[in-house]
Chains A and B, each alone.
Chain A
Amino acid sequence: MMESHRKSEGEMQEAVARWKRAGLAVRVSDGLNALCGDEVSMALAIDGRGAVVAACWSGFACSLCALSCDCAVGAALEGGLHEAAELTVENVARRANLGEVSRSRRGCVELPLNVMKGMLE
């Protein structure tokens, strides 16, 4: 079972404030899927060496979107922001043992990946 990095909006705001007080660099990005209403925010805390030391996400997400968020955040914690930003739908499907993601649900998986890419900007 994949680890969940989901927090409520309030919890995420508290986490971000805590990271900033600790002197960590914080990046936040969000995204919306207008078709399904999914809306996701992600936050990363990055230390002086550029490693992602804490991360979380919050928002309105279907189960596939939530899974993809957890994959993306998990990847950032394991391998850093750049590695996470390169994740593809297929990567997520493999990591989460999803099998093939149907065309109509690709957007659900892509949204968090685009949010993670948005961290680089």
Chain B
Amino acid sequence: MAEYGAMENGGRNCGSVKVLAAVLGAGSSTRMGRSKLTAPFAGTTLIERAVGAALSSCADAVVVISGAYQGEMSSTLAKSHPGAVVLENPRWRSGQSSSVRLAAEYAQQSGFDALLLFAGDQPFVERWHLDRLIQAARSIASSAEARSAPTAVLSSRGRRRGNPCLFFSSCFALLQGLAGDEGARSLFGPEHGLNQAEVAFGNDELFLDADTPEEFVELEKRYERRRSPAPESDFPLLEERGSACPGFSFLDSAASSCAAKGPLDAVRDFETKRRANIHRGIYPLSEEATEAYEEARAKVGRFFGGDARNVVFTHGATEALNMAALGWGGNALREGDVVLLDTAAHHSAIVPWQMLSERIGLKLEFIGLDASGALDMERYRRLLECDPRAVVLTHVSNVTGLACDAKGAVALAHAAGACAVLDCAQSAGHMPVDLADIDADFAAVSAHKMHGPFGVGMLWGKEERFERMLPLLGGGGMIARVTEDGYVLSPPPRRFEAGTPNVSGAIGFAASCDYLAEVGLESIERHGRALSDRFVRGASEIRGISLLGTDAQGKRNSLVSFNVEGMHPHDVAEALAESGICVRAGTHCAMPAHAALGARASVRASFAAHTSCVEVDMLLDALRRLDAPSASARGLRG
């Protein structure tokens, strides 16, 4: 590696093209009246944001070009990025070109192959934008065009081109010849004969900056709106994977969300300080464990609008839905009874009823989807006239991300005299869910989809419904008495928790409820919808992407399923995985939903409180770059 004084960038060398990233920050911010780069901006400063992006990119080294506010900039960066190399431009008054010349001279003297320039006042430039430019440069470095003439790689969005820009060393002489207030962009005119490669980005905000105080305020507001409600630092797995693989993006929260620190700490705390079996021992440790478990039950109950009496801890939503079908339905329903099922349902909200129907001969009717892919409310109303005894609804579809009007649909079910079962696996933790207000008779939730532990969930139930439900498992803890002649059941909810439950899981589940309440469910819901809308908008500009369900904005909650023309979802997912993007591919355990939507399978991207706009942009960018034939060939080569 060449000897140079610039801050080495953690050895994340991107191949043989050695790149110096230069953050331009010498300007006087005349129209701002003060240094815009060191003014408070969304909890940080613009210059810290820019330097952070550069340092986390795969540039080999980073320098900051300062000028008018050298002292402020140095002291700001000394706190946030100690060791950051700040090059003072003594000629900053003569205009922007002086900073570009300085950076080019430095790059040349230090033996860099390329100079990546970007302005410190563009807050929407992210690490991955810089990486894309560097990757593009690497891929063209050995081409005849790049070798024969000065070559640059520019950022573009639609017809607009601008910073960040990367210049090969063949451009350094041109850059050092700039004068006045012209920036490097003046080299893009035909008179300079520059070979220009473009990296097209789909982000409208890429080139946004601010020159006046009013623009600065608007920029900050816009930036704040994009931020995720929960920081990645709340999720150990994201920190761990993110540092090992900088392009890592977890977009499969609908399958299982990342566990948050709070629930993980709660599990560990219980296991190391209070672990004992519950409801059994009379020694203090066991009493503490029992207290912790029952307090967890009460907390989960309150989180969903009720109390401990409504909560049966299960292994997850699947077990909960089975209990409602086989435990309640198996006892309350008779041959010929009608049960309405949601076409958009997960298999766990369909198969148990089909199994029960095989046993006792129910009449199962699927409600169907409307043209947008949502529950067909018209048909639902008509089917309610068939006197169903039960209605099984999906609050948010795990395929389309569309929500039904749960409260309205449950009210209609009750008016028809039916028991309402609501699958909340995809809504719980993504929006406020008040099951008491919705008035569901039963509801199912999984903790692992709410940043909590695996192996625990909840069957929510009204007390009167629990009274008519039979336990599916028999054994310890769920009986009041056992003799050789028979047994007497414990009261609900313990009646339905045979054996030793997942005690630490339940405690972790309660902690995940605490965590989500702290982050704010309304804010999580808004964020999830905004991310889905962002994806839908971006996908509409990419040829060959078709969504499952409506294209309309504002309808989806935290997930979108789509297909890429000419590519099997598995192959799409595998190609995305090569970029570090984790999505689900397949039927998502919802085959009737796919059939109704006209697809065999799909790719699903799902979001959580920590998911950022940048990750959606990265996904869109990766989809734009998908090459169907070569992706299939990759499959052939494994």
Residues of chain A touching chain B, judged by Cβ–Cβ distance below 8 Å, are 2, 34-39, 60-67, 93, 96-101, 105, 108
Chain B nearest CB from A73 CB (Å) reads 16
Rounded to whole angstroms, the CA-CA distance of A64 and B601 in the bound complex is: 16
B382 part of interface (Cβ distance < 8 Å): no
B5-13, B470-478, B629-637 - the one binding chain A: B629-637
Q: Are B587 and A36 in contact (CB under 8 A)?
A: yes
CB distance from A6 to the nearest CB of B (A): 12
Closest residue of chain B to A67 (Cβ to Cβ) is: B636
Task: Give, as a whole number of angstroms, the nearest-CB distance from A108 to chain B.
Answer: 7
| Known contacts A34-B587, A35-B587: A61-B637 contact under CB 8 Å | no
Contacts of B585-601 to chain A: CB distance below 8 A: 585-587, 589, 591, 594, 600-601
**Contact indicator A62/B569 (Cβ below 8 Å):** yes
Most buried by A among B589, B632, B636, B637: B636
Q: Are B635 and A37 in contact (CB under 8 A)?
A: no
Contact, CB under 8 Å: B636 / A36? no
Contact A2:B600 (CB < 8 A) given known A37-B591, A62-B570: no
CB distance from A39 to the nearest CB of B (A): 7
Contact B591 A63 (CB under 8 A): no
Complex CA distance for A35 and B634, rounded to whole angstroms? 21
Which of chain B's residues have a CB closer than 8 A to the CB of A97?
637-638
Cα distance A120–B413 when bound, in Å? 50
List B residues at the A interface (Cβ < 8 Å). 568-571, 574, 585-587, 589, 591, 594, 600-601, 631-638
- The smallest beta-carbon distance between A119 and chain B, in angstroms, is 23
A63 adjacent to B632 (CB under 8 Å): yes
B438 to chain A, nearest CB (A): 31
CB of B638 within 8 A of CB of A98, answer yes
Q: Counting chain A CB atoms within 10 Å of each CB, which of B569, B585, B587, B638 scores highest? A: B638
Give 24 A-B contacts (CB < 8 Å), ordered by A residue. A35-B586, A35-B589, A36-B570, A36-B585, A36-B601, A37-B586, A37-B591, A37-B601, A38-B570, A38-B601, A60-B600, A60-B601, A62-B568, A63-B571, A63-B632, A63-B636, A64-B635, A67-B635, A93-B638, A98-B636, A98-B637, A99-B638, A105-B574, A108-B570
Which of B569, B571, B591, B637 sits near A34, CB closer than 8 Å? B591
User: Across the interface, which residues of A come within 8 angstroms of B633, CB to CB?
Assistant: 63
Least Cβ distance of A97 to chain B in Å? 7
| CB-contact partner of A62 in B571, B594, B637, under 8 A | B571
**CB atoms of B636 and A96 under 8 A apart:** yes
Q: Are A61 and B638 in contact (CB under 8 A)?
A: no
B587 / chain A contacts, CB cutoff of 8 Å: 34-37
Contact of B569 among A37, A39, A66 (CB under 8 A): A37
* B581–chain A nearest beta-carbon distance, Å: 15
In the assembled complex, how far is the CB of residue A83 from the closest CB belonging to chain B, in whole angstroms?
Answer: 23
> Taking CB as reference atom, which chain B residue is nearest A100?
B638
Residues of B within 8 A of A96 (CB): 636, 638
How far is it, in angstroms, between the C-alpha of A17 and the C-alpha of B594 when the chains are bound? 31
- Kindly list 14 other residue pairs between chains A and B, CB separation below 8 angstroms, not including A34-B591, A60-B568, A98-B637: A36-B569, A36-B570, A36-B585, A36-B587, A37-B586, A37-B587, A38-B601, A60-B601, A62-B568, A63-B633, A63-B636, A64-B570, A98-B636, A99-B637
CB nearest to B595 among chain A residues = A37
Closest beta carbon of chain A to B536's beta carbon, Å: 23
Shortest distance between the CB of A69 and any CB in chain B (Å): 12
Q: How far is the CB of A90 from chain B (nearest CB, A)?
A: 12
- Nearest-neighbour CB distance to chain A for B137, whole angstroms, equals 30
Which residues from chain B contact A60 at a C-beta distance below 8 Å? 568, 600-601
Residues of A within 8 A of B570 (CB): 36, 38, 62-65, 105, 108
In Å, the complex CA distance between A26 and B601 comes to 30
Select the residue from A34, A62, A97, A98 with max chain B CB neighbours within 10 A.
A62
Decide: B601 and A101 in contact? CB cutoff 8 A: no
Chain B residue numbers with a CB within 8 Å of A2 are 636
Point out the residues of chain A lying under 8 angstroms from B632, CB to CB: 63
CB proximity of A63 to chain B, nearest CB, Å? 3
Specify which chain B residues have a CB less than 8 angstroms from the CB of A99 in the assembled complex: 637-638
Residues on the B chain within 8 Å of A66, using CB: 635
> Is there contact, CB below 8 Å, between A36 and B586?
yes
Q: How far is the CA of A34 from the CA of B347 in the complex (A)?
A: 11
- Cβ–Cβ contact B600 & A37, under 8 A: yes
Most buried by B among A39, A61, A64, A97: A64
Question: Which residue on chain B has the smallest CB distance to residue A70?
Answer: B636
Residue in A100, A101, A108 whose Cβ sees the most chain B Cβ within 10 Å: A108
Question: Which residue, A36, A98, A101, has most C-beta atoms of chain B within 10 A?
Answer: A36
Q: How far is the CB of A112 from chain B (nearest CB, A)?
A: 14
Q: How far is the CA of A94 from the CA of B441 in the complex (A)?
A: 55
